[in-house]
Structure 1
Amino acid sequence: MLYRIFSCCTLVAALGLTAPAIAAANTDHKTVTKSSAKKSTAAVSKAKTSKAAKTSKTAKKSKVVSKAVAKSSNKQITSRAIANARKDVSVSRALAMSSTLDNPGVQSVGVLVLNEQNGEIMYEKNADSLTPIASITKLMTAMVTLDAQLPLNELLTISQADVDTLKNTSSRLTIGTTLTRGELLLLALMASENRAAAALARTFPAGQAAFIRKMNEKAQSLGMRNSRFYDSTGLTPNNISTPRELALMVKAAHRYPEIHDFTTSSEYSFISNQSGRSMAFHNTNPLVKEVDWNIGVSKTGFINEAGRCLVMQATINGTPVVIVLLDSSGKYTRIGDAQRVRKWIETTSTSRLRAG
């Protein structure tokens, strides 16, 4: 028994612990335990808070992603809607441009289709609207030149006065080029050469001002009450007329054999007295080369203010017609419109025959 007590005391002494120290140690152990418990609780609480925060962030991210997906989806839906709307518009335009028995489906702003045989207006659109007519003017230039009965074999020379200073258009007829009056008339009508048309007015015996006056007098005599001419080329937007009045001018021009020949020629070549080289000029209306077209008169025109224009006299399905197409947008629209008018006349003529 004494040995056991001694052993315990020896062990305690060896560890350097006294009774109070042991008590203190026990107290410290409890404190550490409590502190650890508190720390553990705090850690758990912090972990929960962190988890909650992460959950919240994840939720927010999820919401952001959802919004992004929704936005992307909305964009896709919007894009599809726009595409469908555009498709609908294209279809509507196509339907609007399609030919019917009452409408050839032309796109030109000003239109008149006249049956030259009986005077019937087959189709019209903005037929009485005044508009610049560009180089359609040159048909009047040709009639005034021919009415004056000036020698067509007389040699005329292009001068500085014939150069366009209004629109600054170019020309292959260089200053000093000498051609006959007939050749200049041909180039003015077929190739719409502005310097050629300017030279015709400048070399008029009574002068250029008198030539312009004759143009307006001729217009009045044809019943073109609202038409006005200020130059022989059509470069000025002040040269104005209407589809209805231009039909009168085309009908009158068709009575001149030279205008028929010159406006329907596909090309013309000559040797330049300036360069000694051959120069080839072509018709501005490609339809004159088409074998299935029977064209009596043709003239194109273009300046920005007038748009692209085309007037023709042609025989379609055995019927002589005058076609006036003004202010077409796009390089080929006026030609396409002429084709549509012809097809429309052929179709409606067949329909009328069947109905009869």
Structure 2
Amino acid sequence: MMLRTFALLGCLAASSMVAYAAQPVNLQTQALTSSPRLNSQSVAVVDSQTGKLVYEKNPLQTQPIASITKLMTAMVLLDAGLSLDEPITITEDEVDRLKNTSSRLSVGSTLTRREMLLLALMSSENRASASLARTYPGGKAAFIAKMNQKARSIGMRNAVFHDATGLDMRNSATAMDLVRMVKAAYQYPLIRQFSTTHEYIAHPSATRVLHYKNSNPLVREGEWDIGLSKTGYIEEAGRCLVMETTMGSQRLIVVLLAANGSAARVNDAKSIKTWLEAHPNSWLSG
């Protein structure tokens, strides 16, 4: 599908996250030539400073978002101000009985809340993310309610959350909703740091050592300037990726949803970067 440039998303002040999130999407377009063919079914690329929507492909189509969910999980956790040094032990409650996914964090594994957050953001560790919701004041129900409240507060009008991991296919949003979520999450230094950490050695027990790597190959390879990253995958959502990154001389928020094939989302990101940098006069701001 031909990708198109968009006008400004209203008067978006770079210094105001809430004002940014509240703007309606402007669907006035100006076609660019030779747009890349992308595998992802829903795409939005936005200048993170001006709010200019640079590319789109079905940006208002609601999609399951899989582990992109964990950015909201991280924001709700950090908003609560809980001790990040408190140890958390994985229990049977964290075992995935919805999709029966596995985890290297076996029941009884203990890490600090900080480490659980790191593994959730960096490696998309589902049990780590679920443990953050379980140990929230009021438990999982209160945590999920706060996720949905937070979504509304930052302008994610079409987003809904049913769990803290993204394994629940009912967790859904549009690409434009996720632009707003990335914009909000970028305001948290720990989310920026943890989501772009290359690797981490965890010690969940006295005898176990686990080596985790970032789930985004573009982060691991170290050739891109990435300020925030999150991958996601369940069968219903396909391969998903959101990033805050540099293309050309601009900081951009990139949202790629519903790609099929393990490398498709990364290939799409590379195609967008190559195409943008080949047409700088078409989109670069001053």
Q: TM-score, normalised by structure 1?
A: 0.69
Report if aligned partners of 2:44, 2:55 keep a CA contact under 8 Å in 1: yes
User: Residue 169 of structure 1: SS of its match in structure 2?
Assistant: coil
User: Residue 326 of structure 1: SS of its match in structure 2?
Assistant: strand
Number of the residue aligned with 1:228: 160
Number of the residue aligned with 1:218: 150
Once the two structures are superposed, the pairs formed by residues 1-356 of structure 1 within 5 Å of their partners are 101=33, 103-273=35-205, 276-349=207-280
Supply the distance in 2 between the matched residues of 1:270 and 1:334 (Cα, whole angstroms).
28
Amino acid at match of 2:179: A
CA-to-partner distance for each residue in 1:226-247, whole Å, 9 max, x for gaps? 1100000000111010001100
Q: Which has the larger radius of gyration?
A: 1
User: Residue 117 of structure 1: SS of its match in structure 2?
Assistant: coil
Number of the residue aligned with 2:22: none
- Which blocks of at least 5 consecutive residues in structure 1 are unaligned? 1-92
Supply the distance in 2 between the matched residues of 1:352 and 1:180 (Cα, whole angstroms).
44
CA drift at 1:118: 1.2
Supply the distance in 1 between the matched residues of 2:50 and 2:205 (Cα, whole angstroms).
48
Change (3 A) 1:159 1:352: closer
User: Residue 61 of structure 2: SS of its match in structure 1?
Assistant: coil
Report if aligned partners of 2:63, 2:237 keep a CA contact under 8 Å in 1: yes
CA drift at 1:104: 3.2
Supply the distance in 2 between the matched residues of 1:222 and 1:314 (Cα, whole angstroms).
21
Change (3 A) 1:224 1:102: farther
User: Residue 127 of structure 2: SS of its match in structure 1?
Assistant: helix
Change (3 A) 1:255 1:109: same
CA drift at 1:300: 0.5
CA-to-partner distance for each residue in 1:140-181, whole Å, 9 max, x for gaps? 000000000111111000000010000000000000000000
- Which blocks of at least 5 consecutive residues in structure 2 are unaligned? 4-31
CA-to-partner distance for each residue in 1:248-281, whole Å, 9 max, x for gaps? 001111111000111001110022316x132101
CA-to-partner distance for each residue in 1:273-331, whole Å, 9 max, x for gaps? 16x13210111101012333110110000111101100101022221100000000111
Report if aligned partners of 1:103, 1:123 keep a CA contact under 8 Å in 2: no
Supply the distance in 2 between the matched residues of 1:319 and 1:348 (Cα, whole angstroms).
13
Supply the distance in 1 between the matched residues of 2:240 and 2:165 (Cα, whole angstroms).
14
> If each structure's strand is expressed as a fraction of its own residues, which one has the higher value?
2
User: Residue 297 of structure 1: SS of its match in structure 2?
Assistant: strand
Query: 333-342 vs 289-298, which deviates more?
Result: 289-298
Supply the distance in 2 between the matched residues of 1:320 and 1:102 (Cα, whole angstroms).
23
Amino acid at match of 2:60: D
CA drift at 1:350: 5.5
Once superposed, which parts of structure 1, at least 4 consecutive aligned residues long, lie more than 6 Å away? none
Q: TM-score, normalised by structure 2?
A: 0.86
| Higher relative contact order (CA closer than 8 Å, sequence separation 6+) | 2
CA-to-partner distance for each residue in 1:14-41, whole Å, 9 max, x for gaps? xxxxxxxxxxxxxxxxxxxxxxxxxxxx
Supply the distance in 1 between the matched residues of 2:256 and 2:82 (Cα, whole angstroms).
32
User: Residue 339 of structure 1: SS of its match in structure 2?
Assistant: helix
Amino acid at match of 1:346: E
Amino acid at match of 2:268: D
Number of the residue aligned with 2:21: none
Supply the distance in 1 between the matched residues of 2:34 and 2:58 (Cα, whole angstroms).
16
Supply the distance in 2 between the matched residues of 1:291 and 1:281 (Cα, whole angstroms).
16
Supply the distance in 1 between the matched residues of 2:251 and 2:263 (Cα, whole angstroms).
24
> If each structure's helix is expressed as a fraction of its own residues, which one has the higher value?
1
